[in-house]
Structure 1
Amino acid sequence: MDKVITAEKIVKSFGEAAEKRNVLDKVSVEIAEGEFVAVMGPSGSGKSTLMFALSGMDDIDLGKVAFEGRDLVSLKNNELADMRRTKMGFVFQQPTFLQNLNILDNIILPSMRDNKKDRPKIIEKARKLMKEVGISELENRGIKKVSGGQLQRAGICRALMSNPKIIFGDEPTGALNSKSAEEIMNLFSEINKEGTAVMIVTHDAKIAARSERIMFMVDGKIVHELTLSKYEGADIDRRVEKVTGKMLELGI
């Protein structure tokens, strides 16, 4: 399969002088088209920083990150913004929506930037996505009038509006109860089955066990990769057992 993202020996540091430390320490990563990848590790291990670096949301100090063969480091800020808006989708632990807009308008807002004349088509697509994720009846609700799980579903709809090549999820289930978390992961699995690559950062073994491959990070390095695709068809408990076993082995 073709690679969506290729990163080579990327370094990202924070702090100055004696306090300077590498949050990413010569990390190399490849994510293929349609792959489902999870990143795990203790707090401060560099999980979220890696996601931000791979998506061009954060600068790197050294190394190379390429998205579909294009070097992100060489792109201008407006080119990076256009790539993220048209090629990538983002789902965060706490979705960021405008309080003065209803759910539907929040979902379509990013898509309206370049396509104001296509508003009817954009709304039609948003409503289709909302129906698929089970929130079609909420389009006129304010963001404070829905549950956390419903808001996260709206965030997924917004992330899918541009038919992205990859969706990044930074602890996308971290603020949800177990039932809502499972429902959101079912949505990610369906999105992935339709051909969209997914990369999630999580501390939850049960969430990570839904992926095909897990990268474990410690102190800014990927110290191990666990391939779960060979357990396809196995029940979730067996997959979780493999993940937790490796976490114990690595001291995570």
Structure 2
Amino acid sequence: MKRMIIGEHIVKSFGEGDEKHHVLDGVSLEIREGEFVAVMGPSGSGKSTLMFALSGTDRINEGKVVFEGRNLAEASENELSDLRRTQMGFVFQQPTMLKNLNILDNIILPSMRDHRKKRVEIVEKARALMKRVGIAGLEQRDITQVSGGQLQRAGICRALMNSPRVIFGDEPTGALNSISAQEIMELLGEINADGTAVMLVTHDAMVAARTERILFMRDGKIASELKLPRYRGADLDERIEKVNEKMREIGV
């Protein structure tokens, strides 16, 4: 698989002088096309900061992040915004939806900035995505009139609207019950199987066990990694035990 994202000796620091703290301390990694990757580690280990660095959401202090051959440090804020909107999708623990818009309008909102597309085409794609993820018929609902799992599915629809090369997820199942969490992971697995790379930040061994490569972070560094075969739905307990065993081994 072709390398899509390359991080070289990434340093992200906060504070000055004696108070300076490296949240990311010389991290190097690659994300390849179509990979399904999880990042695990204790709170403060740098998991989310790494995701924000690789997506260009946060500027780094040292090192380099290259996305599809482009050094993100050389891009302007507007260029980075356009890159995230057109090439990347984001799914968070709590989907950021506007209360004054219904579900459909929240899904299509980021895509309306692309003036080359007509609203009717955008709405048609949104409806197709809603049907795919199992929330067809909820278009006119307010965001307070759906369940947490349904709202997260709407967030995934929004992330997929511009056919991104990669989906970044920051604890995407963290606010869901176990059944909804499993359903969301099945959906992300299907999206990945279609060719979209997925990188998830998680503390949940069940979530990580459904991916194919797990990076374990500690103190701003990648302490270890675990590779697993593609999840086929029959060996989840065994995969979870492998994740937990690795965590115990490296003390994260």
Give the structure-1-normalised TM-score: 0.98
- Asked if the contact 2:211–2:230 (Cα under 8 Å) also holds between the matched residues in 1, the reply is no
CA RMSD of aligned residues (A): 1.2
| Structure 2 equivalent of residue 52 of structure 1 | 52
- Asked if the contact 2:103–2:143 (Cα under 8 Å) also holds between the matched residues in 1, the reply is yes
Kindly provide the amino acid, as one letter, of the partner of residue 237 in structure 1: D
Kindly provide the amino acid, as one letter, of the partner of residue 93 in structure 1: Q
Task: Using the TM superposition, name which of 205-214 and 224-233 deviates more.
Answer: 224-233
| Partner Cα separation in structure 1 for residue 205 and residue 139 of structure 2 | 33
Unpaired runs of 5+ residues, structure 1, are none
Alpha-carbon distance change, 111 to 245 in structure 1, aligned in 2, over 3 angstroms: same
Give the structure-2-normalised TM-score: 0.98
| Partner Cα separation in structure 1 for residue 104 and residue 233 of structure 2 | 36
> For residues 79-103 of structure 1, what are the alpha-carbon distances to aligned partners after superposition, in whole Å with 9 as ceiling and x for unaligned?
0000000000000001001000000
Quote the sequence identity (%).
71
Kindly provide the amino acid, as one letter, of the partner of residue 130 in structure 1: M
Q: Tell me the secondary structure at the aligned position of residue 38 of structure 2.
A: strand
Task: Confirm whether residue 168 of structure 1 aligns to residue 168 of structure 2.
Answer: yes
> For residues 116-147 of structure 1, what are the alpha-carbon distances to aligned partners after superposition, in whole Å with 9 as ceiling and x for unaligned?
75100000000000000010111000001111
| Structure 2 equivalent of residue 111 of structure 1 | 111
Q: Tell me the secondary structure at the aligned position of residue 138 of structure 1.
A: coil
| Structure 1 equivalent of residue 73 of structure 2 | 73
Alpha-carbon distance change, 180 to 164 in structure 1, aligned in 2, over 3 angstroms: same
| Partner Cα separation in structure 2 for residue 115 and residue 33 of structure 1 | 28
| Structure 2 equivalent of residue 224 of structure 1 | 224
Alpha-carbon distance change, 171 to 196 in structure 1, aligned in 2, over 3 angstroms: same
Kindly provide the amino acid, as one letter, of the partner of residue 196 in structure 1: T
| Structure 2 equivalent of residue 133 of structure 1 | 133
Q: Tell me the secondary structure at the aligned position of residue 118 of structure 2.
A: helix
Task: Confirm whether residue 185 of structure 1 aligns to residue 195 of structure 2.
Answer: no
What number of residue pairs does the alignment pair up? Answer: 252
> For residues 35-80 of structure 1, what are the alpha-carbon distances to aligned partners after superposition, in whole Å with 9 as ceiling and x for unaligned?
0000000000000000000000001000000000100010000000
Q: Tell me the secondary structure at the aligned position of residue 229 of structure 1.
A: coil
Kindly provide the amino acid, as one letter, of the partner of residue 204 in structure 1: D
Kindly provide the amino acid, as one letter, of the partner of residue 239 in structure 2: R
Kindly provide the amino acid, as one letter, of the partner of residue 21 in structure 1: H
Query: Map of 1:1-252 to 2, 5 A cutoff?
Result: 1-115=1-115, 118-229=118-229, 235-252=235-252
**How far does residue 228 in structure 1 lie from its aligned partner after superposition?**
0.8
Q: Tell me the secondary structure at the aligned position of residue 127 of structure 1.
A: helix
**How far does residue 232 in structure 1 lie from its aligned partner after superposition?**
6.0
> For residues 145-169 of structure 1, what are the alpha-carbon distances to aligned partners after superposition, in whole Å with 9 as ceiling and x for unaligned?
1111000000000000000000000
Task: Using the TM superposition, name which of 230-239 and 87-96 deviates more.
Answer: 230-239
| Partner Cα separation in structure 2 for residue 176 and residue 232 of structure 1 | 23
Kindly provide the amino acid, as one letter, of the partner of residue 242 in structure 2: K
**How far does residue 16 in structure 1 lie from its aligned partner after superposition?**
1.7
| Partner Cα separation in structure 2 for residue 50 and residue 231 of structure 1 | 25
Alpha-carbon distance change, 6 to 117 in structure 1, aligned in 2, over 3 angstroms: closer
- Asked if the contact 2:170–2:200 (Cα under 8 Å) also holds between the matched residues in 1, the reply is yes
